[in-house]
Chains A and B, each alone.
Chain A
Amino acid sequence: MLRRRTAAVVSPPRPSLVVCALGPRRIALPVGRIVAVDRIASYTPLPADDPATLGIALHRGRLIPLVDLGPRLGSRGARPLTLPALCVVVRSDHGELAFPVDEVVGFAPAGDDRFRETVTVLDPAELGGPYG
């Protein structure tokens, strides 16, 4: 009787991060936290203490905060926003929020350390959190 040998299949690591361009930066977010990537045609500015919070956008019938990640990542000021703006909508621990990006560059496996020198991996859970 022949024994069937199971071939060792090495599957490529599943991409679990989405990599986006934000100015000169590359940022990455876990796929599981991303609700959508959409163009947002308009938003309503809402005066706020945090210069990173731009206002409110309507996305799929829901009002969600629009946040500029630049100041959160250390940029001095918020960037001018050209509409329609490509935005990533994520689920944070403070509810859904959207932030503009220049481009979605691609996908990457979470465990791959090779790109960590050039890409900032963000924790969306904390994106809506304290600023300072």
Chain B
Amino acid sequence: MGLRRDPAPSATPATTPPARRYVVFSLAGVEYAIVAAHVKHSLPATAGLGTEVRCQDRAYPLLDLRALFRLAPSAEPTRFVLVVEGTERSAGLVVDALVRLAPLEEAAIQPLSPVFRGREREWFAGLARLGSRIVPVIRVDGILNEAAAPTVPALPRAAVAGPAAG
């Protein structure tokens, strides 16, 4: 699946750190962003995924982000695996779809409110606005730490009425 590229941000003052590129993927209708430099490959994933994926002669444990985030299982026959390498761990993150590549400046990422005080602080580096959407930004090492631990079973989240309309 080809990724659509968002245009690079317009000229910025010299003091502003350059924008990093992020891979934007979707999960249950919500878009998430992950630093593109950590994403080594993306592969289509069909039903019946095992516990690992092989890519360039290397095995990566699979981590289904729907299961980790307690979202209902996907009904889509084809999903995608993002092979992600962090500081110490690597894994194949199973997501619903790849959306686009987008530049994001660090300053544009807002930290999570202190109201969020659970494991989500390990999973998300903050929140960014991409157009009209609010996009949680993945904390790579925090998510990859979950690849070593068993994921919790998927639970329906009755309160989630649906993704933001944007």
Q: What residues make up the interface of A, taking CB atoms closer than 8 Å to B?
A: 41-51, 53-56, 58, 63-65, 67-68, 77-83, 92, 94-95, 97, 128, 130
Contact = CB atoms under 8 A, between A and B. Distances in A.
B134 A63 contact: yes
Contact of A80 (B28, B116, B119, B159): B159
Contacts of B134: 44, 56, 58, 63
Contacts of B133: 44
Looking at chain B's contact residues, the main secondary structure is loop
Interface of B: 28, 30, 68-71, 110, 113-120, 123-124, 127, 129, 133-136, 157-166
Contact of A44 (B30, B113, B157): B30
A95 B117 CA distance: 13
B155 to A, nearest CB: 9
A53 B114 CA distance: 11
A70 to B, nearest CB: 9
A46 B70 CA distance: 11
28 contacts: A42-B165, A44-B30, A44-B163, A44-B164, A45-B28, A46-B127, A47-B69, A47-B71, A47-B120, A48-B118, A50-B117, A54-B159, A55-B160, A58-B134, A63-B110, A63-B127, A64-B113, A77-B158, A78-B159, A80-B161, A81-B160, A81-B161, A83-B165, A94-B114, A95-B114, A97-B113, A128-B114, A128-B115
A58 B158 CA distance: 21
Nearest to A50: B118
Nearest to A127: B115
A42 B162 CA distance: 9
A58 B161 CA distance: 16
